[in-house]
Amino acid sequence: MAWSQPALLLSPLMLLVLTTPVQLSPDYHYFGEKGEGDTWELLRQQHQKGPMVYAICYCPLSRLADLEAMKVADSKTMSESERDRLFAKMEENGDFVGWALDVLSPNLISTSMLGRVKYNLNTLSHDTAAGLIQYALDQGVRVTQVFVDTVGLPEKYQERLQQCFPGIDVTVRAKADALYPVVSAASICAKVARDQAVKNWQFVEDLEDPDADYGSGYPNDPKTKAWLKKQVEPVFGFPQFVRFSWCTAQTILEKEAEDVLWEDSPTQDREGPERITSYFSKGPRARPHVPHRYFQERGLEPATTL
């Protein structure tokens, strides 16, 4: 899993937006619909594939009524054609609506969550949202109000953002994409961008049959499970399109991938080959100190006394 940098995309900035106070909203995209009793964290952690897209939308305070008149709404409540239509409408009204995206690749997410120093998804989400707000400020957007759809506890998230941007009025709420038009607009931008990224994904791996019928990405989706099982490589695992860190992907690796026996590990210290997913474990693993192979092959041991 190679590290990849997030991709920032910015809509053309109009002088009106640059010179008037604006309301700004970061939002992030979750694929699929919210189920009964589910939480945003659960939905976000369940998804198995594709990039995570964060978006901000900004609008002059004097034009908020015009944005609301566009009938923007929570992107999860609309069909794909409705989202595409509203996104095109926002593009047509670039004199008072601006947007920017930060696209986090699947392998960046996996690398962050499976690295030696864990970079959990909530922290990644918070940092990305703060980065987008700062990006808008750096471009000259005069931000006076920020509305954010929460990740984790809204009170703590709001406190953190308020500390980062003390001169801006920050509001963090659950389901903000259904409460504030500017957040709804950001959710549409994120959803449209992610749909296009998934549809036009270019595999860097040489896949024999890169089937594009991925399913929804949820672990209980038969199409998603079938696609994952079909594309798993016994030694190297999945294409970079898949988030290795999700439990469903790890379960398939345990069943379909080859066992790994490391040559530097003495065979007498293990009962059998370890599963490849054991090296993705979040908890500490008790591992005996093993000398380098150079010392093992020459029968050299540390001298405790002379």
Alpha helical stretches, state H, 62-153: 64-69, 80-92, 106-114, 121-138
Select the more confidently predicted residue: 150 or 113.
Answer: 150
Give percent helix, percent strand, percent coil of the chain, each to the nearest 5: 40, 15, 45
| Domain residue spans of the chain | 7-199, 222-280
Alpha-carbon distance of 53 to 75, in angstroms, equals 13
- Please name the amino acid found at residue 236: F
User: Which pLDDT does position 37 carry in this prediction?
Assistant: 29
Phi/psi region, residue 32 (left: phi>0; alpha: psi -120 to 50; beta: rest), is left
pLDDT band at 41 (very low <50, low <70, confident <90, very high): very low
Alpha-carbon distance of 84 to 98, in angstroms, equals 16
User: Which pLDDT does position 292 carry in this prediction?
Assistant: 78
Instruction: Measure Cα distances from 102 to 12, 130, 163, 262, 267 in Å.
Output: 15, 11, 22, 38, 47
User: Which pLDDT does position 148 carry in this prediction?
Assistant: 92
Q: Which residues contact 236 (CB under 8 A, 6 or more apart)?
A: none
Beta-ladder partners of 149: 173
Strand order in the sheet with 52-60: 7-10, 98-104, 52-60, 22-28, 143-149, 169-173
Per-residue model confidence as pLDDT tens digits over 54-105: 988 888 888 889 999 999 988 888 899 999 999 999 999 988 888 888 888 8
The answer as to CATH 3.40.30.10 being correct for domain 7-199 is no
Q: Is the pLDDT of residue 135 over 50?
A: yes
User: Which pLDDT does position 293 carry in this prediction?
Assistant: 73
Alpha-carbon distance of 51 to 242, in angstroms, equals 9
User: Which pLDDT does position 61 carry in this prediction?
Assistant: 87
- Sign of torsion over alpha carbons 59, 61, 66, 68: positive
pLDDT band at 147 (very low <50, low <70, confident <90, very high): very high
